[in-house]
């Protein structure tokens, strides 16, 4: 019997202004479903304390990054905060063909490129908004990762990112973290049932039809 549970992977994109909580939500989602693959981006920015090459990012110089783009090795790429960032294509293809979802923590420019790529039918895009601008600043400060100059730069860029909220399939206002995470799980669970995500349905319904023809006519 054909397996109706065969599924194709989703490309789950999370974007937000820096500090709204997308990395925290992404981490929780990965803990909830360990089959999710995180898309490790390539970047030309320097590693921060505690960041590991190949785990948080693939750190590379500008010439290597640009060669990868020219060779068609990036699903999308963008210039963010003065550095290049991009999502390597090969691991994404491999994961979704094996039926695993891929999680992207990328900005609106990358989201737009993936939404117009050959993989667009399998995209689920979610934008995370902060409950207020003052809370966004408080979170950036309390994260304790950046100098006040960098925080200022991120705050200045935040409106640029927020202004693209309406290009996403879903929007989460990340006020209470637990509640936001529950909503995020609901979205992912429903989207996994979208018809293009279940290629096994065609054979399954064919089987139902054969049975119907045999027994009910
Ligand atoms: P982003 O990845 O969007 O830049 P982070 O996930 O790093 O943001 O979150 C920024 C800070 O805010 C972190 O210290 C995180 O623990 C905290 N945070 C995330 N979501 C919430 C929330 N709903 N309420 C309070 N603090 C939060
Ligand atoms: P950070 O330097 O703080 O890790 O990331 C800065 C910004 O770059 C974040 O908004 C993040 O979502 C975005 N970003 C990270 N990786 C990628 C990527 O591969 N492509 C795009 N377009 N943006 C990325």
pLDDT in tens, 29-54: 999 999 999 999 999 999 988 999 99
Average pLDDT over residues 205-212: 96
Q: What is the pLDDT of residue 5?
A: 56
What is the chain's alpha carbon radius of gyration, rounded to the nearest angstrom?
A: 20
Give the mean model confidence (pLDDT) for residues 156-176.
Answer: 97
Place of tokens 């206002």: 173
Strand partners, 11: 102, 123
Maximum Cα–Cα distance across the chain = 75
Atom of ligand 2 minimally distant from the CA of 42:
19
Question: Ligand 2 within 6 A of 110 CB?
Answer: yes
Sheet holding 74-80, edge to edge: 58-59, 42-43, 83-88, 74-80
What's the mean pLDDT in 44-65? Answer: 95
Q: Give the least confident one: 9-23, 31-45, 136-150.
A: 136-150
- Ligand closest in space to the Cα of 182: 1
pLDDT band at 26 (very low <50, low <70, confident <90, very high): very high
Over residues 123-138, mean pLDDT: 97
Average pLDDT for 200-210: 95
Q: How far apart are CA 13 and CA 19, in angstroms?
A: 16
158 CB within 6 A, ligand 2: no
Distance CA 217, CA 211 (A): 10
Task: Mention every residue, 6+ apart, whose C-beta is less than 8 A from residue 27.
Answer: none
**Do the beta carbons of residue 122 and residue 96 sit within 8 Å?**
yes
Task: Tell me which residue has its CA closest to atom 20 in ligand 1.
Answer: 21
- Asked whether 19 lines ligand 2 (CB < 6 A), one says no
Ligand 2 geometric centre to CA of 51 (Å):
14
Give, using CA atoms, the residue closest to atom 22 of ligand 2: 110
What pLDDT shows up at residue 4? Answer: 53
Confidence of residue 3 (pLDDT cuts 50, 70, 90): low
Split at pLDDT 50, 70, 90, the class of 2 is very low
In this predicted model, what pLDDT tens digit does every residue of 76-118 receive, in sequence order? 999 988 899 999 999 999 999 888 999 999 999 999 999 999 9
How far from each other are the two terminal CA atoms of the chain, in whole angstroms? Answer: 22
Ligand 1 center to residue 126 CA distance, Å?
16
Mean pLDDT score of the chain, rounded to an integer? 94
Which residues sit with their C-beta closer than 6 Å to ligand 1? Answer: 16, 18-24, 139, 142-143, 174, 176-177, 180
Give residue 145 CA to ligand 1 midpoint distance, Å.
12
**What distance in Å separates the CA atoms of residue 186 and residue 25, rounded to the nearest whole number?**
13
């Amino acid at each position: 019997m054909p397996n109706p549970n065969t599924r194709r992977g989703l490309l789950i994109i999370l974007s937000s202004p820096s500090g709204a909580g997308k990395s925290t939500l992404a981490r929780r989602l990965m803990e909830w479903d360990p089959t999710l693959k995180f898309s490790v981006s390539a970047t030309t920015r320097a590693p921060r304390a505690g960041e590991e090459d190949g785990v948080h990012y693939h750190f590379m110089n500008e010439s290597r990054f640009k060669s990868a783009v020219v060779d068609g090795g990036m699903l999308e790429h963008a210039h963010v905060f003065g550095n290049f960032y991009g999502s390597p294509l090969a691991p994404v293809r491999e994961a979704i063909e094996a039926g695993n979802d891929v999680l992207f923590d990328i900005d609106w420019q990358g989201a737009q490129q993936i939404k117009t790529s050959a993989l667009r039918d399998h995209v689920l895009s979610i934008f995370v908004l902060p409950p207020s601008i003052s809370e966004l600043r408080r979170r950036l400060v309390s994260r304790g990762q950046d100098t006040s100059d960098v925080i200022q730069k991120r705050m200045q860029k935040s409106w640029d990112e927020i202004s693209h909220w309406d290009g996403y399939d879903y929007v989460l206002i990340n006020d209470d973290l637990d509640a936001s995470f529950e909503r995020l799980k609901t979205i992912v669970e429903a989207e996994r049932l979208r018809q293009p995500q279940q290629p096994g349905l065609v054979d399954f319904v064919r089987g139902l039809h054969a049975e119907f023809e045999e027994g009910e006519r």
